[in-house]
Amino acid sequence: MASRVLVVGSGVLGLRTAVELTRRRIPVVLRSPVHPLHPSNCSQGAGGLWMPFHCDDPRTDRWAIETLDEIYPFAVDEENLLVRLQYALSFKRTHEGPDTEDFLAKDYHKGTGGKSQLPSWSTDDRLKFQNMTLEQVAWQNIVYKLKLPSLSIAQGAGYNHAWFFETPIIDCPKMMESMLEEVDMDPNDVNVETGVYYESIHQVLEEAKSLNCDAVVNCTGLGASKICQDSEIIGGRGVLLLYDRETCVRLPHPKAEDPLLAAPPEQLHDACIMVESSPWGSDEYPCYMIVRGDTIVVGGTYLEGDDEPAMRPEERKRLLENARILGVDTEASKPKGEWVGHRPYRPVTRCELDSEVSNNGLKLVHCYGTGGSGWTVYAGVAKDATDLILAPM
Ligand SMILES: Cc1cc2nc3c(=O)[nH]c(=O)nc-3n(C[C@H](O)[C@H](O)[C@H](O)COP(=O)(O)OP(=O)(O)OC[C@H]3O[C@@H](n4cnc5c(N)ncnc54)[C@H](O)[C@@H]3O)c2cc1C
């Protein structure tokens, strides 16, 4: 049982782990090179969509559901601005051709061994997940009145079905602020200091001793490749354009092509759209829109091993095209900003006790490598890391 813990890294995993430790009345020292609210933190710029994405650890779905348990009450609370519940639509194409009965069959969830098997998280009732043809989306939208791209154009492009569900969108900067406040206000001994960059895990352990900490949680994300010489962690580079939600002009609703969708613009609601298959998107170049707080986020890329820190002109051009496809009037609206981040991807998330290093009364737990799902799994991962810290040696 630890009596004082050094948490290294102030992304979502570091902050949420610090929060978890303080909730369990363990004094915490938090150290990181930049302030938790600095935009260079991967966790600050992320889309905030709850949906497992490029996180292949077998524990992902459990962590995701545990996180959903934590954020869902916020999402359904009208007064709470940290998390909003939103409809999400992921356009799909299957080469076998659409088979309505198969798409809608309950058994589909149990797995048919086919390529288009649904993910297990989709069975959670809170998400109201449905796999439907685009015609069915059009019919449903008479009720939902969502701002969607033209379904006829989507059909023409070869998309023949869509995942349609309701999911929480976390306002990442606001949630980071709220977690920092909780840590800062904790009556226990909590000490947050930025401007601290460690060169090696050895240096971290020495620092822990000098700070009278008997445990360390390493939440350094991609930084672990250097301090732990972890060759398995790799950056999945992502680029985003940011639009102001209030002033962003949306293309006229495609009444002509989709008469069922016709509704006055003021009656339409924002939706998150995700496309990971051609021609609009692909694994490496997903085309998506996430409406997060006062910002519309348009992405993106998922390029492993690409460490370019700035947006390339051709990427900006592609994002503008994505924005247009997804319904932004790119002539009338200019982005308010852009962002480049590197998802800390590891084939298996490193949430484990380092038994080689943990001895002589000092315990080291690693907690990094959540890829494109850090905000989807953060509460579950932070709780596991805390359990490991508090378990008897
Ligand atoms: C474009 C993009 C969109 C995304 N969208 C989503 C989304 O919609 N939903 C979702 O669930 N996830 C999303 N993600 C993924 C999510 O952002 C990450 O999984 C998550 O932020 C990882 O959190 P972390 O705390 O592990 O890492 P980070 O936020 O990177 O934090 C790591 C911390 O460690 C510190 N550090 C690094 N090296 C050292 C060192 N040597 N010494 C001390 N401190 C160090 C850093 O300064 C930082 O404070 C997205 C990511 C990107 C790039």
The CA 21 to ligand 1 mean position distance, Å, reads 20
The residue whose CA has the least distance to atom 50 of ligand 1 is 46
Rounded to 5°, angle at Cα 160 from 158 and 165 = 130
Q: Where are the domains of the chain?
A: 5-45+173-231+348-390, 85-168+234-343
Residue bearing tokens 């969830």: 109
Beta bridge partners, 287, equal: 275
Q: What is the mean pLDDT of each run of 10 residues along the chain (393 residues)?
A: 91 97 94 88 93 92 97 94 95 64 42 59 96 91 86 91 96 94 77 87 95 96 96 97 92 56 70 95 96 94 96 98 94 96 97 88 95 97 97 86
Q: Is the CB of 300 under 6 A from ligand 1?
A: yes
Q: Which two tokens stand for residue 347?
A: 């084939």
Domain 5-45+173-231+348-390 has CATH 3.40.50.720: yes
Write the CB contacts of 82 (distance below 8 Å, at least 6 apart in sequence).
71, 74, 170, 171, 174, 175, 178
- SS3 readout for the chain: CCCCEEEECCCHHHHHHHHHHHHCCCCEEEEECCCCCCCCCHHHHCCCECCCCCCCCCCHHHHHHHHHHHHHHHHCCCCCCCEEEEEEEEEECCCCCCCHHHHHCHHHHHCCCCCCCCCHHHHCHHHCCEEEEHHHHHHHHHHHCECCCCHHHHHHCCCCEEEEEEEEEECHHHHHHHHHHHHHCCCCCEEEEECCCCCCHHHHHHHHHHCCCCEEEECCHHHHHHHCCCCCCEEEEEEEEEEECCCCCECCCCCCCCHHHCCCHHHCECEEEEECCCCCCCCCCCEEEEEECCEEEEECCCEECCCCCCCCHHHHHHHHHHHHHCCECCCCCCCCEEEEEEEEEEEEEEEEECCCCCECCEEEEEEEEEHHHHHHHHHHHHHHHHHHHHCCC
The CA 250 to ligand 1 mean position distance, Å, reads 31
Q: Is the CB of 9 under 6 A from ligand 1?
A: yes
Beta bridge partners, 250, equal: 328
Residue bearing tokens 């690409």: 306
Site to substitute for ligand 1 among 8, 12, 43, most atoms within 8 A of C-beta: 43
What size, in residues, is the chain?
393
The CA 242 to ligand 1 mean position distance, Å, reads 18
The CA 124 to ligand 1 mean position distance, Å, reads 26
Q: Is the CB of 380 under 6 A from ligand 1?
A: no
Residue bearing tokens 């995942």: 163
The residue whose CA has the least distance to atom 18 of ligand 1 is 374
Which atom of ligand 1 is found nearest the CA of 237? 53
Q: How far apart are CA 41 and CA 232, in angstroms?
A: 21
Write down the pLDDT at residue 140.
86
- For domain 85-168+234-343, the CATH class is alpha beta
Q: Is the CB of 281 under 6 A from ligand 1?
A: no
The residue whose CA has the least distance to atom 33 of ligand 1 is 9
The residue whose CA has the least distance to atom 19 of ligand 1 is 374
Write down the pLDDT at residue 101.
45
